[in-house]
């Protein structure tokens, strides 16, 4: 199956065009091969180079580097999650480990942007778990108790508070957490591409078709050309399953989002001129909404199981109708033709919202499945899987290995039937907040 993305992502299209893009043009051999050039693969390549300066490292992506989920997500660096996947982990010890991993992810990204002076619209503004229904208050109060036990600074807010902060009267209750960070995801991943070390060779638009391990080497077929490598790291996230990797432990979902043009001065004034903010839903299928630094509104409120992954322009237009409705419910004073771009992206989920991080065979490593929290965790896991592949250890790996492992999933067609049923159920539950 050919892996392609639509070319309509608002984050990516607002970046300068890249040059010097090259595809695999001859047979190659290397010490380390990384498949997938998103946050995880780029982070892994950078760390491998540091630990193995005299080794040849090849990084390959089926599309353009950074233009999969890494460049088309909502731009949240999360410290806490209320709904990561379809479950909420009520075990305090395991939830603590999960938030510790989120914190390490934030620290890893922060270190990178400081070291390389990266401008990615970094804003430590926090985030809101918000609902239009007062009946969700109990859920937020219970979540508040968990956060209090773990020492997270947070605050419960009512409609009056939210109108001032968000510029909309749509939400009746929210829980604000201080540690969340908003970024421009495209700018961050682009910076990671731009500073790749000299001993890392990047090939793009080069899709891995099949691979096999034989004795000491791994043989990878890219169609016209092949790569022989000593070690391989898979960082394909939503495409792990299509490569036959951990098939019974992860599944891809297709999400769609829309972004408005920048609000005019009068439009911005009509909603109270709020500062940049980000809202996450209380219920899993509710809408994720952001006010960006440049006065654009982003909304993501669809998730589905589909094949092929790529959506046509007509399909995107249909999904954007839901997003337009979502924006108008929140900001009725804005014009109806305000949406500038709509796009889709693939995320990887596990049954219990845990990530995949492991050595699956001699010289074969995997990191992925971030359940919608991939910016920080993906960057962290890339760095740490590189350490693991270099046969070293770290305190971060020790923490990662102590987390709950992904649960087994049923085979097809039962898996897709179950996922679609759950999505339908969650969508009905979150109907008012879509």
Token pair 């495209």 is found at: 186
Per-residue pLDDT of the chain (434 residues; tens, 9 = 90+): 566 778 899 999 999 999 989 999 999 999 999 999 999 999 999 999 999 999 999 999 999 999 999 999 999 999 999 976 444 556 888 899 999 999 999 999 999 999 999 999 999 999 999 999 999 999 999 999 999 999 999 999 999 999 999 999 999 999 999 999 999 999 999 999 999 999 999 999 999 999 999 989 999 999 999 999 999 999 999 899 889 899 999 999 999 999 999 999 999 999 999 999 999 999 999 999 999 999 999 999 999 998 766 788 899 999 999 999 999 999 999 999 999 999 999 999 999 899 999 999 999 999 999 998 999 999 999 999 999 999 999 999 999 999 999 999 999 999 999 999 999 999 999 999 99
Under DSSP, the state recorded for 255 is E
Q: Which CATH class is domain 10-433?
A: alpha beta
Measured CA angle at 317 (ends 315, 321), to 5 deg: 120
pLDDT of residue 87: 43
pLDDT of residue 89: 59
* Beta bridge partners of residue 253, listed in sequence order: 347
How many Cα atoms within 13 Å fall on the side-chain side of residue 364?
Answer: 15
* Beta bridge partners of residue 211, listed in sequence order: 220
- Could you tell me where the DSSP H helices lie in 227-369? 265-270, 313-330
pLDDT of residue 429: 94
Residue 227 token pair: 């790569």
pLDDT of residue 194: 96
Give dist(CA 346, CA 336) in Å, integer: 28
Give dist(CA 14, CA 137) in Å, integer: 38
pLDDT of residue 3: 67
SS3 58: strand
Instruction: Choose among 405, 356, 355, 395: nearest CA to 107.
Output: 395
Distances (CA, A) of 124 to 40, 187, 329, 391: 22, 16, 27, 35
Under DSSP, the state recorded for 197 is -
pTM of the model: 0.96
pLDDT of residue 106: 98
């Amino acid at each position: 199956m050919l892996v392609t993305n639509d070319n309509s992502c608002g984050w990516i299209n607002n970046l300068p065009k890249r040059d010097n893009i090259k595809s695999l043009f001859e047979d190659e051999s290397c010490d380390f091969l990384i498949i997938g050039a998103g946050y995880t693969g780029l982070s892994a390549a950078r760390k491998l180079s540091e630990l193995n300066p005299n080794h040849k490292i090849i990084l390959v992506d089926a599309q353009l580097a950074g233009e999969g989920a890494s460049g088309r997500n909502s731009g949240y660096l999360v410290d806490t999650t209320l709904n990561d996947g379809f479950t909420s982990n009520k075990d305090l010890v395991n939830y603590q480990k999960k938030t510790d991993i989120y914190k390490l992810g934030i620290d890893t990204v922060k270190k990178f942007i400081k070291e390389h002076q990266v401008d990615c619209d970094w804003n430590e503004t926090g985030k809101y778990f918000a609902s239009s229904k007062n009946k969700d208050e109990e859920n937020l109060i219970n979540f508040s108790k968990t956060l209090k036990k773990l020492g997270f600074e947070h605050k419960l807010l009512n409609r009056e508070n939210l109108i001032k902060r968000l510029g909309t009267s749509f939400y009746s209750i929210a829980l604000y957490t201080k540690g969340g960070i908003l970024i421009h995801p495209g700018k961050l991943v682009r910076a990671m591409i731009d500073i790749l070390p000299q001993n890392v060779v990047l090939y793009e638009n080069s899709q891995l078709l099949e691979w096999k391990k034989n004795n000491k080497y791994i043989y990878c077929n890219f169609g016209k050309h092949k790569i022989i490598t000593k070690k391989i790291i898979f960082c394909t996230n939503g495409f792990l399953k299509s490569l036959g990797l951990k098939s019974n432990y992860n599944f891809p979902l297709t999400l769609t989002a829309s972004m408005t043009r920048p609000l005019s001065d009068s439009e911005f004034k009509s909603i109270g001129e709020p500062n940049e903010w980000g809202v996450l839903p209380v219920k899993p299928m509710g809408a994720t909404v952001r006010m960006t630094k440049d006065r654009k509104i982003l909304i993501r409120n669809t998730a589905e199981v589909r094949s092929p992954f790529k959506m046509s322009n007509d399909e995107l237009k249909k999904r954007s109708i839901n997003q337009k409705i979502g924006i108008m419910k929140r900001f009725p004073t804005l014009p109806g033709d305000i949406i500038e771009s709509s796009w889709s992206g693939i995320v990887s989920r596990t049954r219990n919202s845990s990530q995949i991080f492991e050595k699956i065979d001699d010289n074969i490593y995997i990191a992925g499945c971030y359940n919608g929290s991939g910016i920080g965790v993906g960057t962290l896991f890339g760095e740490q899987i590189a350490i693991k592949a270099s046969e070293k250890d770290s305190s971060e790996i020790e923490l990662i290995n102590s987390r709950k492992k992904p649960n087994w999933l049923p085979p097809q067609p039962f898996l897709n039937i179950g996922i679609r049923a759950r999505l339908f159920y969650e969508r009905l539950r979150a109907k008012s907040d879509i």
